[in-house]
Structure 1
Amino acid sequence: MSSSLYIAPPKSRAAIREYATMIRRLLPGGDQPRLDIVRALEVHLTRLDERFEFSVLETWEMGENHALAHVNELRIEVRSDVYDGAVAGSGRDRMTLAHELGHLVLHADVRLSRRMPGAAVRPFEDPEWQAKCFVGELLIPKSWRALIRNPEEAATYLGVSKDAVITQLNAWQREGT
């Protein structure tokens, strides 16, 4: 069962892939295997929508939160150590930034419902599951599948974690592709 407090309108992995593909097409360098997620958030998204804001905050300001998406305000806040890690190429930190972008892309202008305590949320209605899928589809696009010979090399090449590559490979296998 999901720990999410909210329920989002249902989205399949295939639908989420379309959103990620659209974002890649709009971004300079989106046709390259390793998407520069930091530059996308710092520079390019503001050019696509002037309302978008990206802020790096100190650890004491963010507390336990590595990053936050304020979907109604089109704003992402990231903890400084996570930002520094993403700039340095840390797969986990790059994925954190992409996760928050996923919330903005998938959940801005969407009405989320509050989940009743103890009620199950189907994965495709879980905003966290949707954002995780977005990360995989954005940073490990299916169009680059032929390049993935082994998960460890792919993780280094794409700038993500080995576990993320394995998760994507398993998802594609479940889809029968």
Structure 2
Amino acid sequence: MTETNDFIVPPRRWAEIGGIADNLRHKLGLAEEPRVPVIEIIERVLDQRLGLVRFEVGSKQEMGRAEGYTCPNGDFIMLREDVYTGVCAGEGRPRFTAAHELGHWAMHTNIPLARARRGDGTPSFRLAEPQANQFAAEFLMPECFIDALDDEDDLIQRFGVSWEAARNRLRYLHKHGRL
């Protein structure tokens, strides 16, 4: 997907997305774990053990600028090879990308999709990409493990995320009076 393209999806409140992420963590037995093994969840649990989704690694040539892709009917989640290598190494940005694709799978499988362009006036709560980003933030950095004294470095260490993801999560929680 290019930077300006998106899809219109059913509207979701950010709190609803947080509930979806928390529910998945709970079903996987990870509700009490600050750092989740996101690639193991996708590859070993959802694919190999449960057979709910096929996990694939795509080449840079095949995927181009797309770091990940989730089949709209939920058949597969694909990560570009360098992203897969990064998430396996525990790098923050690739972990977020994997969680983002997991969010598409959890929220946007088998639903009607309409193309949209960012900046066309469609509110973010109706767009697939912001919804998947919110899911990734909630899934990787649950509010219950964050307190008002935390800074970006605390979240990076605790959750294995990038500085940008940690900054955005803290800003969101402060802005909404949750810290």
Cα distance in 1, alignment partners of residues 93 and 154 from structure 2: 16
- Quote how far apart the aligned CAs of 1:171 are: 1.4
AA aligned opposite 1:25: H
Stretches of structure 1 that go unaligned for 5 or more consecutive residues are none
AA aligned opposite 2:138: E
- Quote how far apart the aligned CAs of 1:117 are: 9.2
Q: Is 54-63 or 79-88 further displaced after alignment?
A: 54-63
Calculate percent identity across the aligned residue pairs.
Answer: 31
Q: TM-score, normalised by structure 1?
A: 0.89
Q: Is 123-132 or 43-52 further displaced after alignment?
A: 43-52
Higher helix fraction: Structure 1 or Structure 2? 1
Asked whether the equivalents of residues 7 and 128 of structure 2 are also in contact (C-alpha less than 8 Å), the reply is yes
Pair 1:121-2:110 in alignment: no
Asked whether the equivalents of residues 4 and 128 of structure 1 are also in contact (C-alpha less than 8 Å), the reply is no
Please show how residues 69-84 of structure 1 align to structure 2 within 5 Å.
69-84=70-85
Counterparts in 2 of 1:8 and 1:49: CA distance versus 1, 3 Å: farther
Cα RMSD (Å) of the superposition?
Answer: 2.2
Pair 1:54-2:89 in alignment: no
Asked whether the equivalents of residues 76 and 100 of structure 1 are also in contact (C-alpha less than 8 Å), the reply is yes
Cα distance in 1, alignment partners of residues 20 and 43 from structure 2: 20
Cα distance in 2, alignment partners of residues 119 and 41 from structure 1: 33
Please show how residues 88-107 of structure 1 align to structure 2 within 5 Å.
88-107=89-108
User: 4+ residue stretches of structure 1 with deviation over 4 A?
Assistant: none
Cα distance in 2, alignment partners of residues 147 and 45 from structure 1: 34
Q: TM-score, normalised by structure 2?
A: 0.88
Counterparts in 2 of 1:150 and 1:23: CA distance versus 1, 3 Å: same
Is the partner of 1:108 in helix, strand or coil?
coil
Stretches of structure 2 that go unaligned for 5 or more consecutive residues are none
- Quote how far apart the aligned CAs of 1:14 are: 0.1
Q: What is the count of residue pairs matched by the alignment?
A: 176
- Quote how far apart the aligned CAs of 1:118 are: 6.9
Counterparts in 2 of 1:84 and 1:125: CA distance versus 1, 3 Å: same
- Quote how far apart the aligned CAs of 1:48 are: 7.5
